Structure 1
Amino acid sequence: MSTTADPRPAELHHAHRDVTGGWLRPATFGVMDGLVSNFSLVAGVVGGGATGGTVVLTGLAGLVAGACSMATGEYTSVSSQRDLTRAEIDIEKRELERNPDDELRELTLMYEAKGLRPELASEVARELSAEPDVAWRVHVREELGIDPDDLPSPWTAAASSFVAFAVGALVPLLPFVLGLSGLVPSLILSALALAMVGAGIARLTARPTWFGSRRQLLLGGLSAAVTYAVGLALGTGMS
């Protein structure tokens, strides 16, 4: 019998990226919101006739207020979701204590629905239900579709959102902070940042980079154009 080792590398497992840690959505939303909202804010006040220090002050106020608001909203949202999840987990634990036979039958039927033979589904369900600490976790995963040991962190979501929004919101302000006047330098820098972030998000999510860049440029451009037009109209009317 040949003992030659298979030259092909073993591919028993491949690593996945963290998709449940609670950071990607708030970070993505935060940086895009910071870019779009603060550039729109800057465009609005420039359209209304503000220049120099007024634009910087307005933009910094928008940065701080927006970052705090985003972080607070994300913390509250994720905390509420965790509380709801824990309440549902408690319900499942009580059901397992009060009606173990019904819960066992329910788990068996779920495995049958996934394609297991009735005898095998019953055996698997009984084996997994033997330990109470394992049983409730299995029921939570199967019935609620969540991992009770990997719930998203509200602090992670809040911090990701705060930092991402602040970074995004700083980009439109940089030209004014460096002493450049007019909206064009801020527009160019913001457009480049939107395209880069859109491409990065698309790459992370396995979408074409051109699609991500074009989408973010279109959405950001529309928002800025609307705000600039409103600022221009109000500035002209109040002058």
Structure 2
Amino acid sequence: MTATADIGTPEIHHKHRDVTGGWLRPATFGVVDGLVSNFALVAGVVGGGAGAHAVVLTGLAGLTAGACSMATGEYISVTSQNELAQAEIAREQRELATNPEEELRELTLAYEAKGVRPELAAEIATALTADPDVALRVHVREELGVDPDDLPSGWSAAASSFAAFALGALLPLLPFVFGASDIAPALVASSAGLVVTGALTAKLTASSGWFGASRQLLLGGVSAAVTFGVGLLVGTGVS
């Protein structure tokens, strides 16, 4: 009897991955942007005929500037988004305090729109509104589509994007640091980095690893080829 009951009992202890945090998008974007942009920069300089020292100097400058720019941009972007959300949350709190009947009606209509019977929707809305803290959280989730207790961190986004960009930008630069004089070793290192990051990103998002790796490699290769071509044209056209 016990074994049969256990078999028929649905599992309710599963956990979902975090899809609202502020780290995955900037980290993924940072690695790819750092790798592609710095390889394209290095390729352009090599195409222009620069020596190894100039290539390393240019690559380090690109790494530093890009990582700082990414971190600053992500911090300001996420912080501004949070400030907007917090302003709207404060507005919702004021509306709950000054016009509770209208807010109760809004919540009731929201549940009715989800398919709940009007009587039951009114009962649920009334029960949730009894506690001001619960009422605020429910209204914010329903009307703004955000979780007031789980807003993304600007510092987390900035740190992850800085580290990710620097890591990606370092890959095409390493061969020249260790004495490479042409673009081939950097091309191999960057291609490997694009394939690995594409496959890992695909794994995180539960999509095809082959598709993710191929997409990263194709887009990164096109960017680098264009920049290398511009550097080659400029380098041969300028004395």
Determine if the TM-score, normalized by the shorter chain, exceeds 0.5: yes
Q: Report the equivalent of 2:138.
A: 138
Shift of 1:99: 1.0
Give the Cα–Cα distance (whole angstroms) in 1 for the partners of residues 90 and 139 of structure 2.
Answer: 12
* Structure 1: segments with no counterpart, 5+ residues: none
Runs of 4+ in 1 over 6 A off after TM superposition: none
Deviations along 1:133-163, one digit per CA (max 9) or x if unpaired, are 1111110001111100000000000000000
Q: Tell me which amino acid in the other structure corresponds to 1:144.
A: L
Relative to the length of structure 2, the TM-score reads 0.97
* Other structure's SS at 1:19 match: coil
SS of 2:38 mapped into structure 1: helix
Gaps of 5+ in 2: none
Q: CA deviation at 1:72?
A: 0.2
Once the two structures are superposed, residues 114-143 of structure 1 have per-residue CA deviations (whole angstroms, 9 ceiling, x without a partner) of 111111100000000011111111100011
Give, as a single letter, the amino acid of the residue that structure 1 aligns with 2:167.
V
Shift of 1:39: 0.1
Q: Equivalent residue for 2:13?
A: 13
Cα offsets for 1:36-56 (capped at 9, x unmatched): 000000000000101211101
Aligned counterpart, 1:147: 147
TM superposition shift of 1:13: 2.3
Percent sequence identity over aligned pairs: 69
Deviation sequence 1:19-39 (CA, Å, 0-9, x none): 112000000000000000000
Could you tell me how far apart the structure 2 residues matched to 1:4 and 1:188 are? 56
Residues matched between the structures, number:
238
The worse-fitting range, judged by mean Cα deviation, of 93-102 and 78-87 is 93-102
Aligned to 1:181, the other structure's residue is in SS state coil
Aligned to 2:158: 158
SS in 1 for 2:171: helix
User: Quick one: which amino acid aligns to residue 61 of structure 1?
Assistant: A
1:69-119 per-position Cα deviation (integer Å, ceiling 9, x unaligned): 000000000000000000110111111111110110000000011111111
Query: Are 2:47 and 1:47 equivalent residues in the alignment?
Result: yes
Q: Normalised by the size of structure 1, how large is the TM-score? A: 0.97
Quote the Cα distance in structure 1 between the aligned partners of 2:132 and 2:90: 13
SS at match of 1:22: coil
Q: Give the direction of change, closer, same or farther, for the CA distance of 1:100–1:50 in structure 2 (3 Å limit).
A: same
SS in 2 for 1:172: coil
Residue 63 (structure 1) aligned with residue 68 (structure 2): no
How many Å separate the matches in 2 of 1:226 and 1:3? 67
